[in-house]
Amino acid sequence: YRMGKLSMSEMIIETAEKFRTQNMHPIVFIDDASDVMIEGDRERLAQVLMNLIGNAIKFSPQGGNVTISLKNDFKNLHVTIQDQGIGIPAEDIPKLFSKFQRIDNSSRRKIGGTGLGLAICQEIILKHDGHIWIDSQEGLGTAIHFELPLLAETVEYTAHEGAEENPPVMIVEDDM
Ligand code: ATP
Ligand code: MG
């Protein structure tokens, strides 16, 4: 891993742009307090975002919104990728972080993939001392969450600046 200081908000906006098409574009919410640095491997974290945003779009064949939000709880950065797609049956959720696990049912048969994406995402997030988890309801949509520890120096900075007193500013990437 090639670790360096990264802005997760920049990476999210960059990756969301890559998925922008005429019918589907991810909406990004980042408040000021969340625009802080983390320590990570840029290429590998980009791979995580590509797979998670790619999944959200791929498993939303009827469309709907894909929303990516970034929150800072002054200890961790918390990224949520939420879709309004086909969702995941509760009993399948725990299996999906293992390699080659896909769900094979009629609503999914036409959607391609190897089943490696989430296993790789989890490996990368764990290597960054983070966590990743899934919250989903079949037929309603899925939220994938991951958390990464903030750089110690950023935690101090945000604490001193009293970011909690400042109301968060919302950037909505929704200009199409
Ligand atoms: P790959 O990422 O290797 O191209 P894949 O997308 O099928 O293939 P994963 O990203 O590991 O594999 O996802 C595993 C399975 O989890 C998927 O096949 C799908 O059944 C389910 N899944 C993942 N993300 C979502 C989502 N956002 N909505 C619904 N199902 C999902
Ligand atoms: Mg995938």
pLDDT tens column, 159-172? 555 555 555 454 55
pLDDT tens column, 72-94? 988 899 999 999 999 999 999 99
**Average pLDDT, rounded, for the chain:** 87
Q: What percent of the chain has pLDDT over 70?
A: 86
- 18 against 165, higher pLDDT: 18
ipTM, two decimals, is 0.99
Question: Residue 144: which residues within 8 A CB-CB, separation 6 or more?
Answer: 52, 55, 56, 80, 81, 132, 133, 134, 135
Using CA positions, which residue lies closest to atom 17 of ligand 1? 102
- What's the gap in Å between 58 CA and the centre of ligand 2? 8
DSSP per-residue string spanning 124-150: HHHHTT-EEEEEEETTTEEEEEEEEEB
Ligand nearest to the CA of 82: 1
What's the confidence (pLDDT) of residue 22? Answer: 74
Closest alpha carbon to 65 in 123, 107, 31, 25: 25
- What's the gap in Å between 30 CA and the centre of ligand 2? 24
With contact defined as beta carbons under 8 Å apart, do 85 and 78 qualify? no
Instruction: Residue 11: count other Cβ atoms within 10 Å of its Cβ.
Output: 19
| Atom nearest to 108 CA in ligand 1 | 20
